[in-house]
Amino acid sequence: MKLYSFKAALISIVFISFLAFNLPEQSNRLLKKITDSLEKYYDMDGPEKAFLETDKDMYVLGDTIWFKTYVVDGITHQASKKSKVAYVEMLNDNDSIVEKRRLFVEGTSGFGDILLSKMLNTGAYRLRTYTNYMLNDEYVSYFEKSISIATKSSSMVQVSSESVEIGNESKLEEVDAIEVDLMFFPEGGDLVTGVSGVLGIKALDSRGVGQALKGSIHSTNGDLVAEFETAEFGLGKVNIIPKKNTDYYARINKGNEDRRFNLPVAKAAGYSLNIKNWKDNLLLQVTTTKGNSLEGTLLIGHLRGELIFKKLGTGVDKDSYAVRLLTEELQEGIAQFTLFSSDGNPICERLVFVDHPGIHAEVIIKTNKDNFVTKEKVNLDISVLNKKGNPLQGDFLTSVIPATHQLKQGNMGLKGWLLLNSDLGGTVVDPDFFFSEDTKQKRFLLDALLLTHGWRRFVWKEMLGDEIQKDVAYVPEKGIMIKGTMVDYYHPSMAKSVIAKFNVLEEALYDEQVADEKGQFSFGPYYFNDSITAIIQAVDTTIRAKSAQKNIAIIVEEWPDIPKTAISKDSVVRDSKIFKIEEFYSQTEYPSSYFLDEQDLIKLNPVSIKAKKISRARFVEEELNKTTPYGRPDIRVFRDSVSGWQTMSVLGLLQRRGAVTRAGTSMMTSTTSNSISAVGPLVLFNGTSTSITLAELNIMRANEVVYVDIIRGYNSGASMYGARGMFGVIAIYTNPPSIEGLEKYNNPIDIPGIKTARITGFYKACEFYSPNYSEASTSKTELDYRTTLFWDPKVNLSKDGKTQIQFYTGDVTGDFMVKFQGISDTGKLVTGSHYFTVDNSL
């Protein structure tokens, strides 16, 4: 018996010694695995981020949206090494795309514009931007910006935004009148008995809107432990030291009702991770109440995937240690700290926002004076420096707009998105709130926010496993890719691995490849502006050629299909408010004539914007004009020039282009000289006069026609049709003439084994026009109602970080805002603003 006890004791000693000897080795293996995984994530698997800024937030029909899209590396916020193609979409309230642009990204950005058709409905719209590579993310990563579109003469317009502070402000309902839910989030993950811990608090009503309230923490014994309160967004924090065998609850007073919420139960033994953020340093404190020490544990810190801290627990640490981490050399943004057990399991996690005051850029904006009259020259000086006074270079934009055209809250700015919401899954209601000014209260609330959130970019279990190494479904695009799938024509779920032949008519370009086992093919990357006609042909060499044509259908991806994500556009709760258009303009003074119809106004002389057009397009237009008796029409609409034409009627096609207006059972061509008449315009079908009615045009499908010409009633070409021509002419053509460049219309829309697709090229941005009233050719007597006085998406700074800008005010008076923002070459986010006044009473 004694011998057995001796042997057992000896085995125990050897086993314990073996564990002690292997702990450092196990921890080192874990450290190497984590650092290798983070390095791979940093170099290869890291995310991209996109952000879009517009000249302003509020528009009227007929305005132009000037925008700029940034695409950056999601870790460094410098130029991405992955994608060179960005997508921009304008969506209505039904999530339908009404406008879209494909941009080539040079450096960190691309830019463009959208002319708001007067055929659009007024109301709330969203601008969305993303890259193909971003569609791999499990959580939403594309950026969306809300804008509102109104008409000058509209009485009311619906705007979806919590922050539109126009007209009467809507007040939150009293806490007594609504249901409130309290949620508690222990710092690090768990409360531990006998260890001081912090609880993050979130108070939400039944609508998901944060509530400001006061409450208290009590033990089940009835003792008052602490008091707390929540502020903006229902956020708060409270400290507590849980006692052994004691449970706790929070209490709030709701009218005459005393409501209670149970706190998370404290663990009898466990680990605690506490971080105090002093801005210039972080104090990291790790504690355990388990029988063994912290030896073998591993504390890892990373900022957006870049390793910034590592510490192996040793025997010297015993049951606690504290480390101070200086933040001066760190990037700005969210850092995640994770404590791993000796066997490699994550046991504590904490998010903290790194924001050293010395890393901020300083933007100095000055105008030559504070007050201007209408049509007066403004001299603007801008300088961009770091805290040490050294110049910064980067990719910047400048916009000058009425102050009332910028939402005060609710729309995410550059910092709110790139530094906060993009890494938290887009769940923060108003991220810019935390960056509007540096106060103790906002730092407190930002820390409370991070206590209630988890890291969204990756999960350690997946990071340290094999999942991160799998092939991505959406590859980065260096140029335009023509992609699609070959399937069985009669059984679309069956993929066909056949030869795909690719041909571009305009460029005499040819290529071919074998589709993979999923039937997928991909040609490119290509660079072209405007649009091209691509023909893809399927060839199956395993069967006879005649059968190949009949058995294969080709599906071409002409635009990315956004997958359904875990977070929808409704996941962030916003209030919906109605404001009157007169109140919208109340702080910006307009002459009464501003609200007249456009034909009643004297406009500025039109500016000739020279854009490069392909010679083939001009050739086709000129040749078509030769084939018609009336020559050049006022409007020519090709069916594929309108997005979504495949599902439209001919009437819908013309209405979308603004070529005709429908009023009940009558219609008119797009001209102010015509009045709506029961007679309506004359309709020609392939050159022959017909009695086609409005109802028949609404039945006729757009895919049955090639193009439609509109000749207005006052056009000399319409006079040849006599009295009927005075109400305008609609000429419909279904058979294209034999003109080089129209070959694509000779192909049926859906033929087995062959597919004709119109591929959208990179958008070529228009040039922003700003009048120069010092020139004799520019009249000062003509009305100038520009609301965007200046827009430059590519501001060039001198070597000393400065630039000078000149522009003229218009006839609109009130307070104006100079908006400057961008990203430095080193990834620092730069924002600044300045205000001046235009007042004719000076």
Q: pLDDT tens digit string along 287-306?
A: 999 876 899 999 999 999 99
Question: Which of the residue ranges 115-124, 351-360, 530-539 would you say has the lowest mean pLDDT?
Answer: 530-539
Three-state SS at 28? helix
Percent of the chain predicted with pLDDT > 90 = 46
pLDDT the model gives residue 743? 52
Q: What Cα–Cα distance (Å) separates residue 626 from each residue in 629, 685, 732, 737, 739?
A: 8, 17, 16, 11, 11
Residue 528 placed within a domain: yes
| Mean pLDDT in residue range 187-212 | 93
Task: Give the pair of three-digit tokens for residue 588.
Answer: 């910006």
Q: Please tell me which of 155-159, 717-721, 813-817 the model is most confident about, judged by mean pLDDT.
A: 813-817
Q: Are residues 187 and 288 in the same domain?
A: yes
- Listing DSSP states for 732-761 in one string gives EE-S--S-TT-GGGGS-SSBTTEEEEEEE-
Neighbours of 760 (CB within 10 A): 18
Tell me how far apart the alpha carbons of residues 372 and 840 are, in angstroms, rounded to a whole number.
8
pLDDT at 814 over 80: yes
pLDDT the model gives residue 45? 84
Tell me how far apart the alpha carbons of residues 559 and 95 are, in angstroms, rounded to a whole number.
15
Tell me how far apart the alpha carbons of residues 347 and 362 are, in angstroms, rounded to a whole number.
40
Q: What Cα–Cα distance (Å) separates residue 747 from each residue in 140, 486, 502, 542, 654?
A: 40, 19, 15, 26, 23
Tell me how far apart the alpha carbons of residues 540 and 434 are, in angstroms, rounded to a whole number.
60
**Is the CB of residue 753 less than 8 Å from the CB of residue 482?**
no
Residue 94 placed within a domain: no
Q: Are residues 510 and 637 in the same domain?
A: no
Three-state SS at 640? helix
Instruction: Single out the residue of 578, 608, 601, 610 nearest to residue 786, CA to CA.
Output: 601
Task: Give the pair of three-digit tokens for residue 108.
Answer: 């960190």
Three-state SS at 5? helix
pLDDT the model gives residue 212? 92
Residue 305 placed within a domain: yes
Tell me how far apart the alpha carbons of residues 696 and 736 are, in angstroms, rounded to a whole number.
22
Q: What Cα–Cα distance (Å) separates residue 340 from each residue in 135, 295, 348, 736?
A: 31, 11, 7, 70
**Is the CB of residue 426 less than 8 Å from the CB of residue 567?**
yes
Q: Are residues 200 and 341 in the same domain?
A: yes
Residue 601 placed within a domain: no
pLDDT the model gives residue 738? 58
pLDDT digits (tens, 9 = 90+) for 489-521: 777 788 888 899 888 756 678 899 999 999 999
Q: Are residues 551 and 623 in the same domain?
A: no
Q: Are residues 220 and 300 in the same domain?
A: yes
Q: Are residues 526 and 666 in the same domain?
A: no
Q: How are beta strands 682-685 and 729-733 bridged, if at all?
A: parallel
| Mean pLDDT in residue range 671-695 | 63
pLDDT band at 253 (very low <50, low <70, confident <90, very high): confident
CATH number at residue 724: 2.170.130.10
pLDDT at 487 over 50: yes
Helix then strand count (H, E) for the chain reads 10, 47
Give the number of domains in the chain.
3
Q: 3-state secondary structure string, 602-625? A: CCCCCCCCCCCCCHHHHHHHHHHH
Q: Please tell me which of 99-113, 442-456, 745-759, 767-781 the model is most confident about, judged by mean pLDDT.
A: 99-113
Tell me how far apart the alpha carbons of residues 382 and 796 are, in angstroms, rounded to a whole number.
11
Tell me how far apart the alpha carbons of residues 445 and 393 are, in angstroms, rounded to a whole number.
33
**Is the CB of residue 756 less than 8 Å from the CB of residue 747?**
yes
Place of tokens 């790194």: 354
Q: Are residues 533 and 631 in the same domain?
A: no
CATH number at residue 275: 2.60.40.10
- Listing DSSP states for 529-585 in one string gives BSEEEEEEEEE-TTS-HHHHHHHEEEEEESS--PPP-SS-TTSS---EEEEEHHHHT
Average pLDDT taken over every residue of the chain: 81
Tell me how far apart the alpha carbons of residues 109 and 396 are, in angstroms, rounded to a whole number.
10
| Mean pLDDT in residue range 396-423 | 89
Percent of the chain predicted with pLDDT > 70 = 78
pLDDT digits (tens, 9 = 90+) for 350-387: 999 999 888 889 999 999 999 999 999 999 999 999 98
Instruction: Single out the residue of 404, 388, 307, 253 nearest to residue 787, CA to CA.
Output: 404
Residue 732 placed within a domain: yes
Q: Are residues 181 and 291 in the same domain?
A: yes
E strand or H helix that includes residue 699: helix 694-699
Tell me how far apart the alpha carbons of residues 101 and 132 are, in angstroms, rounded to a whole number.
14
pLDDT the model gives residue 549? 53
Instruction: Single out the residue of 477, 450, 573, 552 nearest to residue 204, CA to CA.
Output: 573
pLDDT the model gives residue 505? 59
Q: Residue 658: what are its φ and ψ, rounded to 5°?
A: 75, 20
Residue 825 placed within a domain: no
Q: Return the DSSP state at 459.
A: -
Tell me how far apart the alpha carbons of residues 482 and 531 are, in angstroms, rounded to a whole number.
12
Domain boundary among 539, 557, 575: 557
Q: Are residues 644 and 546 in the same domain?
A: no
Domain boundary among 725, 760, 795: 760
Tell me how far apart the alpha carbons of residues 417 and 179 are, in angstroms, rounded to a whole number.
31
Question: Which of the residue ranges 366-370, 431-435, 539-543 would you say has the lowest mean pLDDT?
Answer: 539-543
Amino acid at 692: I
pLDDT the model gives residue 469? 54
pLDDT at 259 over 60: yes
pLDDT the model gives residue 701? 74
Task: Give the pair of three-digit tokens for residue 451.
Answer: 């206590």
| Mean pLDDT in residue range 208-234 | 93
| Mean pLDDT in residue range 783-801 | 95
**Centroid of chain to Cα 52:** 6
Question: Which of the residue ranges 224-228, 647-651, 817-821 would you say has the lowest mean pLDDT?
Answer: 647-651
pLDDT the model gives residue 750? 54
Q: Are residues 665 and 536 in the same domain?
A: no
**Centroid of chain to Cα 326:** 33
Amino acid at 654: L
Q: Are residues 350 and 211 in the same domain?
A: yes
pLDDT the model gives residue 29? 85
pLDDT the model gives residue 780? 77
Residue 455 placed within a domain: no
Residue 614 placed within a domain: no
pLDDT band at 579 (very low <50, low <70, confident <90, very high): very low
Tell me how far apart the alpha carbons of residues 138 and 824 are, in angstroms, rounded to a whole number.
29
Instruction: Single out the residue of 434, 460, 478, 26 nearest to residue 235, CA to CA.
Output: 434
Instruction: Single out the residue of 111, 114, 129 nearest to residue 61, CA to CA.
Output: 114
Buried residues in 316-332 as b, exposed as e (16+ CB within 10 A)? ebeeebeeebebeebbb
Instruction: Supply the range of the domain harboring residue 529.
Output: 475-557
Look at the alpha carbons of 636, 639, 645, 650 in this order and tell me if their dihedral is positive or negative.
Answer: positive
Task: Give the pair of three-digit tokens for residue 176.
Answer: 């007594």
672-678-683-689 Cα dihedral, nearest 10 degrees: -130
pLDDT digits (tens, 9 = 90+) for 138-159: 765 789 999 999 986 543 333 3
Amino acid at 374: T
Q: Are residues 624 and 552 in the same domain?
A: no
Domain boundary among 705, 738, 760: 760
pLDDT the model gives residue 683? 84
Question: Which of the residue ranges 50-54, 375-379, 603-607, 665-669 would you say has the lowest mean pLDDT?
Answer: 603-607
